C-alpha cells in the first residue's frame, strides 16, 4: 500500500475547463473510459456518491513511494497496488485534484462531481503513444535484423555433398541425391510414382521425416547417414557416404526456407 500525501501545495483550486482532458468511452459502456496519455494534460474524472473509481495505468508501471498527492485527502478513500489506483468518495463535496508519480510517468487528475446527464467514471485507462512508438521501432529493428540475416544466409556459399551410394531395387534410384548440411535433396526427374523416403536410425528402425517438394525434388528436412526409399514392395537403401553429423552453421536459425528465427529480448 502506498502512502498518500494530502497537501494544499498540490491542490489546483480551479482548473479551467479548457485545460482538462475529458476521457471518452472505450467502447459501448460510457462508464469505462479511455484517454491518450500526455504528461502536460489534466484528466477529468467524474464521480458520483457510492461509486468506486479504478484508475488503471500501464502494465509494469508502479506508483513510487510517496508518489501521490491529493488536495483533500480526507474527502477520499484511496488504495493502490502496482499499476492501479482505487478511489471512493468519503465526503459530500469531494472535488479536488490528484497527482500520481510512477516509475515511468506523472499523472494529474481533476476529481469532480458528475453533472446531471454526464456519465461518471468507473474505470479510466490510458493509451500510451510513447509505448506504441517504442514497440513500432522495435518491430522495425527486428524486420531489419531479419532481412540482414536472410541476406547473409542467402549469400553464404552452400556446401554441397553429393557423395551418395545406393543398394536395392534400382528402379527406385533417384536422378540425383545431395545435401547442403541442413536439408537432403532427392531428385526424381521422371513421371513415375515417387517413393516414400524414410530415415534409417542406427538401430535399424525407420521414421518418416518432415519434407517438402521443390519441383521434381523431395527436400527432406534433415541429414542422415542412411535413408530408405519405399514404394510398394520395392526398397532402396540410399547411403550418405559423406555424412557429417555436425552439418553446417545455419545463420537463419530455422530449417524453413525463406524464414528467419528471431529471439525475444527480455528487458
pLDDT in tens, 155-185: 666 678 999 999 999 999 999 999 998 999 9
More confident residue, 148 or 110: 110
CB distance 52 to 122 below 8 Å: yes
Q: State the Cα–Cα distance between residues 181 and 156, nearest whole angstrom.
A: 13
Segment 125-149 mean pLDDT: 90
pLDDT of 85-94, one tens digit each? 999 998 888 9
- Give the pLDDT of residue 247: 60
Q: Number of C-alpha atoms within 13 angstroms, CB side, residue 188?
A: 16
pLDDT of residue 244: 83
List the single range of 135-144, 157-166, 252-261 with lowest mean pLDDT.
Answer: 252-261
Tell me which DSSP letter residue 97 carries: E
**Contacts of residue 83, Cβ cutoff 8 Å, sequence gap at least 6:** 56, 57, 58, 59, 60, 61, 62, 102
- Domains along the chain? 5-127 (2.60.40), 164-240 (2.60.40.2500)
Q: What is the phi/psi pair of residue 228, to 5°?
A: -130, 125
Q: What is the pLDDT of residue 46?
A: 95
Q: Please indicate whether residue 243 or residue 15 has the higher confidence score (pLDDT).
A: 243
Q: So what's the pLDDT on residue 157?
A: 65
What's the grid cell of residue 6?
Answer: 494530502
Cell of 68: 501521490
CA distance 207 to 198: 5
Residue 64's pLDDT is what?
78
Q: What pLDDT does 111 receive?
A: 94
Tell which wins on pLDDT, 202 or 64: 202
Burial of residue 43 (CB within 10 Å: 0-12, 13-18, 19+) is buried
Q: Is pLDDT larger for residue 189 or for residue 250?
A: 189
Q: How far is the CA of 203 from the CAs of 68, 74, 199, in angstroms?
A: 69, 79, 11
Grid cell listed for 135? 514497440
Q: pLDDT (tens digit, 9 = 90+) per residue, 17-65?
A: 446 899 999 999 999 999 999 999 999 999 999 999 999 999 999 987 7
Whether 72 contacts 94, CB under 8 Å: yes
Instruction: Specify the pLDDT at position 232.
Output: 93
pLDDT of residue 20: 84
Q: What is the predicted pLDDT for the residue at 2?
A: 54
Grid coordinates given for 228 = 530408405
Helix runs in the chain, H state only? 129-155
Mean of pLDDT over the chain: 83
* Whether pLDDT at 255 is above 60: no
Cβ-contact 256, 245 below 8 angstroms = no
Residues 6+ apart with CB under 8 A from 116: none
221-234 pLDDT tens trace: 999 999 999 999 99
The answer to whether the CB of 42 falls within 8 A of the CB of 109 is yes
pTM tops 0.85, yes or no: no
Amino acid at each position: 500500500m502506498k502512502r498518500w500525501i494530502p497537501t494544499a501545495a498540490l491542490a489546483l483550486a480551479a482548473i479551467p475547463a479548457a485545460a482538462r482532458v475529458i476521457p471518452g468511452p472505450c467502447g459501448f459502456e460510457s462508464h469505462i473510459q479511455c484517454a491518450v496519455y500526455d504528461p502536460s494534460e489534466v484528466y477529468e474524472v467524474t464521480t458520483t456518491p457510492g461509486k468506486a473509481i479504478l484508475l488503471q495505468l500501464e502494465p509494469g508501471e508502479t506508483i513510487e513511494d510517496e508518489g501521490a498527492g491529493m488536495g483533500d485527502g480526507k474527502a477520499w478513500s484511496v488504495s493502490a497496488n502496482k499499476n492501479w489506483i482505487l478511489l471512493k468518495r468519503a465526503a459530500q463535496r469531494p472535488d479536488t485534484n490528484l497527482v500520481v508519480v510512477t516509475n515511468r510517468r506523472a499523472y494529474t487528475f481533476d476529481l469532480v462531481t458528475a453533472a446531471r446527464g454526464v456519465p461518471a467514471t468507473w474505470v479510466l485507462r490510458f493509451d500510451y503513444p510513447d509505448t506504441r512508438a517504442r514497440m513500432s521501432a522495435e518491430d522495425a529493428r527486428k524486420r531489419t535484423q531479419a532481412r540482414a540475416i536472410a541476406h547473409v544466409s542467402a549469400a553464404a556459399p552452400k556446401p554441397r555433398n553429393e557423395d551418395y551410394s545406393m543398394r536395392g531395387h534400382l528402379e527406385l534410384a533417384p536422378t540425383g541425391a545431395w545435401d547442403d548440411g541442413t536439408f537432403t535433396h532427392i531428385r526424381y526427374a521422371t513421371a513415375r510414382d515417387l517413393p516414400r523416403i524414410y530415415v534409417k536410425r542406427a538401430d535399424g528402425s525407420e521414421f518418416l521425416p518432415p519434407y517438402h517438394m521443390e519441383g521434381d525434388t523431395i527436400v527432406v528436412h534433415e541429414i542422415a547417414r542412411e535413408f530408405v526409399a519405399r514404394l510398394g514392395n520395392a526398397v532402396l537403401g540410399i547411403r550418405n557416404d559423406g555424412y557429417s553429423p555436425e552439418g553446417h552453421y545455419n545463420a537463419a536459425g530455422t530449417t524453413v526456407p525463406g524464414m528467419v528465427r528471431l529471439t525475444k529480448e527480455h528487458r
